[in-house]
Structures are given as C-alpha cells and as structure tokens.
Amino acid sequence: MVDITPADAIPPAEVAEVELYHPHGWWTKYVFSQDAKVIAIQYSVTATAIGMVALVLSWLMRLQLGFPGTFDFITPEAYYQFITMHGMIMVIYLLTALFLGGFGNYLIPLMVGARDMVFPYVNMLSYWIYLLAVLVLVSSFFAPGGPTGAGWTLYPPQAIMTGTPGGQDWGIILMLVSLILFIIGFTMGGLNYVVTVLQGRTRGMTLMRLPLTVWGIFTATVMALLAFPALFVACVMMLFDRVLGTSFFMPAIVEMGEQLQRGGGSPILFQHLFWFFGHPEVYIVALPAFGIVSDLISTHARKNIFGYRMMVWAIIGIGALSFVVWAHHMYVSGMHPYFGFFFATTTLIIAIPTAIKVYNWVLTLWRGDIHLTIPMLFALAFIVTFVNGGLTGLFLGNVVVDVPLSDTMFVVAHFHMVMGVAPILVIFGAIYHWYPKVTGRMLNETLGQFHFWVTFLGAYLIFFPMHYLGLMGVPRRYNELTDMTVMTESAQHLNSFISIMAFIVGFAQIVFLFNLIWSIRHGREAGGNPWRATTLEWQTPQTPPAHGNFGKDLPIVYRWAYDYSVPGAKEDFIPQNVPGSFGLSKEPA
C-alpha cells in the first residue's frame, strides 16, 4: 500500500522534455506534420484506401470461386495475383499499419499523458516511408507481368520462377522492395511507440495504471520490432536470389525440362525465417485488438476490467511465447518431424493465457451495467468470432490434426475468423468509440447498427461454413474447384452462398465509409467525453485535442484506468486525473 498524497501538495506537472515542433504553415500542419495525431490519420486513411483495394480483390476471388467459369477475365494468373495481393495488403499494409501506425500514433501519447511522440521527426518519416512502400506495392499492378502471384507466403522456389505470375517479371521484385521499405518505415514508427511508453508517461502514470490498449499496442510493437527483421532478412536474401543469381533458397531445379543454374539452397530456410516473423505477426495484430477490446468492454459495461493484472501478465506471456511457436505453420513442410512435438506443445500452451483473456472479458460483463452501444456490440461480436477462430486454432496447432486440415479451406476459414474478422471488428468498435474524440462528432447510429449487423452476421456466415469445406478436403489456393471428387454439388452451392455473403458484407463497408465521411459534418456534437470514460484521452481541454494535447499543464494521474462504478463515488466513473480517495482502500475480505 502506497501513501496517498493529498492533491494540493503536488506541484503542477512540468512541461514534458520533448521539444515540440510547432507547425507554421498549412503544409507542415497537415501534410508534413510531426504531430502524432495527424500522422495517425494519415496512416489510417492510407491503410483504409489500400484496404479497399484488397476488399475489391477479395470480391473478384469470390466471383471466381462462387461461380466458376462465369467470369472469363479472372484467369488463373490473375486469380493468384489477387490472392497474393489481398493477403499481403490485409495482413501488413492494412492491419499492422492501422493498429500500430493509426491507433498507436493517436492513442499512445494521449493515453499516457504525453504532448506527442518522443521523436516526432522520425515519426513523420515513418509515415512517408510507409506511403512509399504502399505506392511501390500499387505500382506492381501496372508493371509488366503484373503483381506477384506467389501467395502471400512468397515461398521460394516458385515465387521467383516463370511458372508463377510475376516470378520472372517485376512483380516479385516490387513486392520485396515494398516489404523492405515497409519494415524500415515501421521500425522508425515502432521506436517512437516503444520509447514514448517508456519515457513519455506523465507523472503518476505507472505501468500498472496504463490502459490495456497501451499495453497491447506497446507489447505488439516490441514484438514487431524483433519479428520484422526476420522478414527483412528473408526478403533481402530472396531479392539476391532473384536479381543476383545467388542460391540461398534455390535448390537444383529442372524447370519445364531445363536445368537451372542454381543449386544447394534450402526452401525450408525461407519458411523458417518467414514464419519466425509470420507467427508473431498474428499476435502483432491480435494484441492491440485484445487491449482495445478490453477498454471498450470496460467502458461500456461501466465496470472495471476483471483481473487487470492477469490481463497484463497474459499480454506479456503471449508476447514472449509467440516467438517459440512459429514452426506450427510448417508441420507438413517436410522439416524434421520431431519438431512437431515441441511446437505442438508450445502452441497449445499459448492457448492458456489467451483463454484467460477471454474469460476475463466475459467476466467483466458479469454484474456490469451493459450499455449496448455500437462499440459494445462490436466488442461482443469480437469475442464470438475470436473464440470461434481461436478454438479452431487448437485443431491446427495440434500437429497431427493439422495433417489432414493444412492447406485446405479450413485454414482459410480459421485465420480469417481469428486474425481477419475478429481484429477488424475491434477496429470498427474502436472507430465508433474514438471517432467522437478525433472529430468532435458522433457517427450516425442507424447506419452504425446496419453496419454492425451485416458485418457481424455476414462474416460469421462466410467463415463458419467454410471450415466444413476444409474438413471435406477442399484445398485452398485453387482458382477452380471443379472436377474434384471432394467438391460435391451441394458444396458448390455452399461456395456460391459464401460468395454472395461476401458481396453483402463488402457493401456494408461502403456504407461505413459513407458514415465516416458524412458524420464529420453532420454527426451529432459529441462533447469532450461522450462515453464518460476514465482514460486521459477523454480529459483533454479541447476536442479534437489541439497540438500539444493537454493545454498548459500535463495531467497528473492519481488512479488506474478502470475506476468505474466505484462504491462511494457519486458518478459511475472517476477519470484518471481526478485526485481523491474513493472506494476500497483495503483488500476486500
């Protein structure tokens, strides 16, 4: 138990050490801005724009799968280019960029009580390099031969061979260059997120008083900083193989009857490097979602998050463990079979802290005062889809069960549910939650309800039945599911149904985009703290927060982020910067 200092005995917080860059003109204020909030919006808009491209690509793929032979312009070549770009954009350029570059930039300084990120200039560079990476990626659509069609895993040797679209053209080169740029840009941003949490916290903001959102983004960034180098190494080595003729990954190969001048390399080496990045990447996307959803549930259920300490420990535990499970993506890759024992065990162990997080979310609802706002609805939907996708992960993580299911539609359904639908539902919830802070206006409720129901139910109807296609043995990455004994007629009907649902869900996103734009001017005025939340970003003097975030004095933090419905307090929430003692000061009996 720590002494409680009376509030008036504390000197006002000093201005943070950070030397803020004060913009003078329009360009430095809105374009080459060093303000994390502007950078956050730039990241979000860019990620959403490129995400829309990926959404359209998924429609094209579903057209082909749902109605085979109907759409002539989707050649096998084009189909593989679509799946590759769809996967890569969604995982890296949308989810990673939006969670860390978007939400991280906006929320970290505000939530920890800082005026800005600690290295604003580097932060600005981070965005512009990200934009460059996106442009290079987009340029591959217009390059001779089109973008790469190697699958988002880019497995060599096929990724750099003629049998794959873009393999011997520009596609794969542009993809690798774009990834390398992304990693450089991300590292610049990531340094900011980590060091701001370490050094930028305002007085009184100890680690255990951080909102879980910050914990999630912080841990995910640390992981990303350590995992992305693996992708960097793999990309550089593959670029050498493709451009300079080395044989890091290229074994002796006979291509279409001709001996290639390569030899000795190991495709498995690439897979190890790729998944050493690729598995932590799953949690790089999941942990910010975990953190954000914890705050959404707590705020809208007017109740402290249940088991805060366990939640923090679980985030750290998942972060550390996720570096020793990568080879569960490689059970049938031909690696040494004894690895299967080790990686199946570590993979199933990681299910335990993850399950604890789920329990704590639902236990937060227990005896709460649940306001069924749109952010809350999205949070509930997240739990459903995440539990569903997480549990199917227990199939795929358990090495021998993975054998029949790997590379089937079961895998596609699993990862879309767990790292596609679930985190994106959190993103939507978070946008409905924080939009009032960013713009000062609420998003339209009716459009929001429509968006929620269509997205949630539609996405569930797409991906839940898809598991059963995989169970039947329908393989993934096939542009034609015809002439196949496992693909019965009824299964083809199911496939068409899935495609139709995909269009409907995609359409709902357009409604959402409309809502985003329309509400900037026409939304209801929100006020500074419409959700009556405790965390610091809702306590700013201006909404939207001005340059420097907190006006003259930085806030002082007197309590943790979850003082909702404290017994003895008049209101059902006490902001973190409100002094005074309420509630339980002793261990409950």
Site for other proteins in 345-364 (CB under 8 A): 345, 348-349, 351-352, 355-356, 358-360, 362-363
Other CB atoms within 10 Å distance of the CB of residue 45: 12
Give the pairing type, strands 254-255 and 258-259: antiparallel
401, with CB counted inside 10 A (0-12, 13-18, 19+), is middle
Segment near other proteins (CB under 8 A); pick from 72-80, 124-132, 136-144, 527-535: 72-80
Which helix (H) or strand (E) segment holds residue 127: the answer is helix 120-139
Interface size with other proteins, residues (CB under 8 A): 187
Among 33, 105, 148, 202, binds other proteins (CB under 8 A): 202
Binding track, positions 17-56, relative to other proteins; x by CB under 8 A: xx--------------------------------------
Write down the least CB distance from residue 567 to other proteins, Å: 5
Q: What token pair was written down for 476? A: 């993934």
Among 36, 53, 225, 536, binds other proteins (CB under 8 A): 225
Residues between 322 and 341 that touch other proteins (CB under 8 A): 323-324, 332-334, 337-338, 340-341
Picking from 356, 376, 381, 291, the residue whose alpha carbon sits closest to that of residue 562 is: 291
Residues between 547 and 576 that touch other proteins (CB under 8 A): 556-560, 562-567, 572
Cβ-based nearer residue to other proteins, 368 or 423: 368
Contact of 567 with 213, CB cutoff 8 Å: no
Buried b (16+ CB within 10 A) or exposed e, 528-562: ebbbebbbbbbbbeebebebbbbeeebbbbbbbbb
Residues between 485 and 524 that touch other proteins (CB under 8 A): 485-486, 488, 490-491, 494
Q: What token pair was written down for 162? A: 């003629």
Among 24, 400, 570, 589, binds other proteins (CB under 8 A): 400
Write down the least CB distance from residue 198 to other proteins, Å: 6
Residues between 236 and 255 that touch other proteins (CB under 8 A): 236-237, 240, 244-248, 251-255
Handedness of CA 161, 167, 168, 173 (dihedral sign): negative
Write down the least CB distance from residue 308 to other proteins, Å: 7
- Per DSSP, the three-state class of 475 is strand
Amino acid sitting at position 280: P
Segment near other proteins (CB under 8 A); pick from 102-110, 148-156, 283-291, 439-447: 148-156
Residues between 95 and 124 that touch other proteins (CB under 8 A): 118-119
Residue 302 dihedral angles phi and psi, to the nearest 5°: 55, 40
Compute the distance between CA of residue 121 and CA of residue 108 in angstroms, rounded to an integer. 16
Binding track, positions 459-478, relative to other proteins; x by CB under 8 A: -x---xx--xx-xxx-x-xx
Compute the distance between CA of residue 55 and CA of residue 50 in angstroms, rounded to an integer. 9
- Per DSSP, the three-state class of 274 is helix
Write down the least CB distance from residue 231 to other proteins, Å: 10
Cβ-based nearer residue to other proteins, 31 or 208: 208
Write down the least CB distance from residue 520 to other proteins, Å: 28
Write down the least CB distance from residue 226 to other proteins, Å: 5
Helices (H), 440-555: 445-472, 489-522
Compute the distance between CA of residue 103 and CA of residue 189 in angstroms, rounded to an integer. 12
Binding track, positions 423-452, relative to other proteins; x by CB under 8 A: ------------------------------
415 touching other proteins, by CB under 8 A: no
Residues between 161 and 190 that touch other proteins (CB under 8 A): 161, 163-165, 167, 187, 190
Compute the distance between CA of residue 531 and CA of residue 565 in angstroms, rounded to an integer. 14
Among 131, 484, 500, 504, binds other proteins (CB under 8 A): 484
Q: Cis link prior to 544 (omega < 30° from 0)?
A: yes
Cβ-based nearer residue to other proteins, 434 or 558: 558
Among 143, 370, 500, 520, binds other proteins (CB under 8 A): 370
> Terminal CA-to-CA distance of the chain, rounded, Å?
16
